[in-house]
Amino acid sequence: MKALAVQGCTFKCQPPGQLVGTAQVITPPSLKVSAEGKPCYKGNIDVLCPPGSIQHPAFSASNMVNTAPATFTISPLGITKTKIEGDLALTQGDNGSATVQGLQPPPPPATTPIPAVAAVILEIDDPGQTKAQSN
């Protein structure tokens, strides 16, 4: 069993990526189901990570951080059978991937950094509550 994710949950990147800034959920939570007084997330949610919020070793020419916003779609992994308003509930560990943009050093003798991309996985780290669990 895993805790249901609610409004205010937090995220982390799976290595080698690292979340160093904010991640903002842009999909509204359920208006009908809550846990510990906070609305629950269900189905797929979109999460926006602004420039400078994700570190990745591929971005060595941009202070190791992303240079453009990245939107992740976090989906239920199917481990839970718990449904909220007909959709699977989101729980701790559910994740999604996105291609994130940054900069890498150019090949010599060039001096201007060149675009780089990296596949990054973002997952629900702290679900925001502990009492309501999936089954």
Mapping DSSP onto H, E and C, the string for 55-121 reads ECHHHCCCCCECCCCEEEEEECCCCCCCEECCEEECECCCEEEEEEEEEECCCCCCCCCEEEEEEEE
- pLDDT at residue 9 in the model: 98
78 or 130: whose pLDDT is higher?
Answer: 130
In a domain, 56, yes or no: yes
DSSP β-ladder status, 34-35 and 45-49:
unpaired
Q: Between 62 and 89, whose confidence is greater?
A: 89
Q: Is the pLDDT of residue 14 over 80?
A: yes
- Would you say residue 134 lies in a domain? no
Would residue 48 count as lying in a domain? Answer: yes
CB 39, CB 33: distance < 8 Å: yes
pLDDT digits (tens, 9 = 90+) for 89-99: 999 999 999 99
The answer, yes or no, to whether residue 43 has pLDDT greater than 90, is: yes
Query: Is residue 40 one of the residues assigned to a domain?
Result: yes
Domain with 119, as residue range(s), is: 11-124
Does residue 6 lie in a domain region?
Answer: no
Asked whether residue 29 is assigned to any structural domain, the reply reads yes
Give residue 16's pLDDT.
Answer: 95
- Give how many domains the chain has, as a whole number: 1
Distance separating alpha carbons of residues 58 and 37, to the nearest angstrom: 41
Determine the average pLDDT of the residues in 27-53: 97
In a domain, 1, yes or no: no
Q: Which residues contact 51 (CB under 8 A, 6 or more apart)?
A: 65, 66, 67, 68, 69
Is residue 71 within 8 Å of residue 82, measured between CB atoms? no
Q: What distance in Å separates the CA atoms of residue 12 and residue 18, rounded to the nearest whole number?
A: 7
Q: How far apart are CA 32 and CA 69, in angstroms?
A: 31
Which pLDDT score, from 0 to 100, does residue 13 have? 97
pLDDT digits (tens, 9 = 90+) for 81-122: 899 999 999 999 999 999 999 999 998 999 999 999 999 999
With pLDDT > 70 as the criterion, what percentage of the chain qualifies?
Answer: 100
In a domain, 129, yes or no: no
Residues facing residue 75 across a β-bridge = 95
For the entire predicted model, the pTM comes to: 0.93
**62 vs 127, residue with greater confidence:** 127
φ, ψ for residue 101 (rounded to 5)?
Answer: -105, 145
